Amino acid sequence: MRFAIIDIETTGGNYQSGKILEIAVVLHDGESILDQWTTLLNPETYIPAGITELTGITQDMVRDAPRFFEIAAHLVKLTEGAIFVAHNVRFDYDFIWHEFHNLGYAFQRRKLCTIQLARRIFPGLGKYGLSALTQYFGLENPDRHRALGDALTTSALFQLILKEAKSQEVIQNLVNQGIEESRLPANLSITDIEQLPETCGVYYMRNQENEVIYVGKSKNIQKRVSSHFTDHTQKTARLLQQVHTIDYEETGSELVSLILESYRIKELKPAINKAQRVARYIYAIISFRDSSGYICFGVKPRKEAEKLLNIQIHAGFGKAGAARARLDACQNEFNLCHALMHGERLSGKPCFAYHLKKCLGACCLEESPSMYNLRANQAILRIQKNLAGSFLLIDVGRQKGEWSVIGIRDGKFVGYAYMEQDFTDSSLWDWENSLSRFPENEEVSLIITNYLAKHALKKLPVTA
């Protein structure tokens, strides 16, 4: 094995908003250091005072330094064929992967985390940060929080680990993401798994007859597929026996991947997707008007609700408790009647919420149906997360300079497309014809509703 031990200094802790200030690569063959390289980088952004205090890197120091794209080709060549090693590898790898992604290049390397490695080789130390391990093993690092100093210290730690008897076995296991090659389907290798993208999308597992037998989605396709072959379940056993090839569609947007997965499972009816072929949202929040004209709410099993007359279904949930929690939140937010929120018949007596001054008196007829229903309709919009109307949801795309665009017409999902980020409102006059269209699917409307309850996406109203 050949290892590229890497450390970076950045303007912040989030790769989506932070930039790389400095990078160092120490090449190692498993016995000794072969080469080392480091450079400051111009982040083309402001360096926070706290970062300067921590690293000593100032704006003046990076002003004439190369930008990432200027060293990208050298970094590719330097790390080619090597395992990407870092202390907390996900941090360094994500920053570098993101920089390459912005350049339109798919940077992929096998990864090894020295924190995970140290935990396996030296259990029970308590703390596994680089400073703690440096002190514990008596290593020297005169240049802490500078890329080369930390990369060389990580190299010294790595060499200590390599001297331990079981290190090679542990390294192989971590590099292979816990997959035992002997347990992979006969036609797949570790290399096939490693060549899958580390991006968001939908993947398809096919049998020898090229039939899709399993459809899945993930924010990291490679990582999710790997996990299938490290489990010890009946599903894993079937995948090991039947999977012949794996292909995928990158979506960029997690919401698009959820939508696409739902449609593909219904369209292809994969044999191993038993759980997803059953409706995910088996409970529903419903509303109806009682004999006095008040809007009432309730939670019903979805199949039962679909058979009822004069009721509306507003949102689906996997568990009844989650549906009731949504109703409770709306009751508190809009000062609604406890009795009406739980489908109880009005007795003319004050409900529990009335005594707490959180109900305005519909239960004891102190508030008219017309006044009460104004707030009840607001609650319905909150439950639906404003899926009513016609609009476009704007989310991340598959590459830099691109948006994913999800179309809603009269509260129903129409389709999605990808557009350049500099599109204008006037370019959307024919927006529906720009979408990859899908047949009406109530489950997808629920997927979008539930996603918007947890994630804020830009919403662009459309009238055409």
pLDDT by residue (tens digit) across 64-110? 999 999 999 999 999 999 999 999 999 999 999 999 998 988 899 99
pTM above 0.85, yes or no: no
**CB-neighbour burial class of residue 198 (10 A; exposed 0-12, middle 13-18, buried 19+):** buried
pLDDT by residue (tens digit) across 140-194? 888 889 999 999 999 999 999 999 989 999 999 899 888 877 778 988 999 899 9
264: tokens are 């593909």
CA separation for the pair 97, 111 (Å, rounded): 12
- Secondary structure of residue 306 in the 3-state scheme: helix
pLDDT by residue (tens digit) across 349-363? 888 888 888 899 898
pLDDT by residue (tens digit) across 288-332? 998 889 999 999 998 888 888 888 888 788 788 888 888 998 999
The pLDDT value recorded for residue 280 is 66
User: What's the average model confidence in pLDDT over 434-456?
Assistant: 82
Q: Which of 460, 462, 461 is nearest to 421 (CA)?
A: 460
The pLDDT value recorded for residue 46 is 94
Model confidence at 425: pLDDT above 70? no
User: What's the average model confidence in pLDDT over 184-208?
Assistant: 93
Cβ neighbors of 227 (< 8 A, separation 6 or more) are 177
CA separation for the pair 76, 369 (Å, rounded): 68
The pLDDT value recorded for residue 192 is 92
CA separation for the pair 18, 197 (Å, rounded): 23
420: tokens are 């350049």
Model confidence at 276: pLDDT above 60? no
Q: Which of 347, 22, 330, 293 is nearest to 339 (CA)?
A: 347
Yes or no: say if 113 and 161 are a contact pair by the CB < 8 Å rule.
no
DSSP letters along 338-385, please?
A: HHHHTTPPP-SS--HHHHTT-S-STTTTSS-HHHHHHHHHHHHHHHHT
Model confidence at 217: pLDDT above 60? yes
Cβ neighbors of 132 (< 8 A, separation 6 or more) are 125, 126
Model confidence at 202: pLDDT above 90? yes
Average pLDDT, the chain: 89
Domain at 3-175, CATH class: alpha beta
User: What's the average model confidence in pLDDT over 29-33?
Assistant: 92
Work out the pLDDT band at 386, boundaries 50, 70, 90: low
Higher local confidence (pLDDT), 41 or 276 = 41
Work out the pLDDT band at 464, boundaries 50, 70, 90: low
Q: Which of 61, 39, 37, 57 is nearest to 49 (CA)?
A: 57
The pLDDT value recorded for residue 307 is 86
Higher local confidence (pLDDT), 390 or 23 = 23
Work out the pLDDT band at 427, boundaries 50, 70, 90: low
DSSP state of 18: -
User: What's the average model confidence in pLDDT over 395-399?
Assistant: 92
Model confidence at 424: pLDDT above 90? no
Q: 70-87 burial, b for 16+ CB within 10 Å, e for fewer? A: ebbeebeeebeebbbbbb
54: tokens are 């921590």
**Residue 145 known to be catalytic:** yes
CA separation for the pair 279, 318 (Å, rounded): 9
Yes or no: say if 212 and 204 are a contact pair by the CB < 8 Å rule.
yes
Model confidence at 47: pLDDT above 60? yes
Measured in residues, the chain has a length of 464
State the amino acid at position 346 in one-letter form.
L
Fold of 181-277: GIY-YIG endonuclease (3.40.1440)
Higher local confidence (pLDDT), 347 or 386 = 347
Could you give the percent of the chain with pLDDT greater than 90?
58
Cβ neighbors of 395 (< 8 A, separation 6 or more) are 252, 253, 254, 255, 256, 403, 404, 405, 406, 457, 458
410: tokens are 């009269």
Work out the pLDDT band at 275, boundaries 50, 70, 90: low
Kindly name the residue from 98, 145, 314, 338 that is annotated as catalytic: 145
Yes or no: say if 258 and 229 are a contact pair by the CB < 8 Å rule.
no
The pLDDT value recorded for residue 284 is 87
429: tokens are 């006059």
Q: Which helix (H) or strand (E) holds 102?
A: helix 89-102
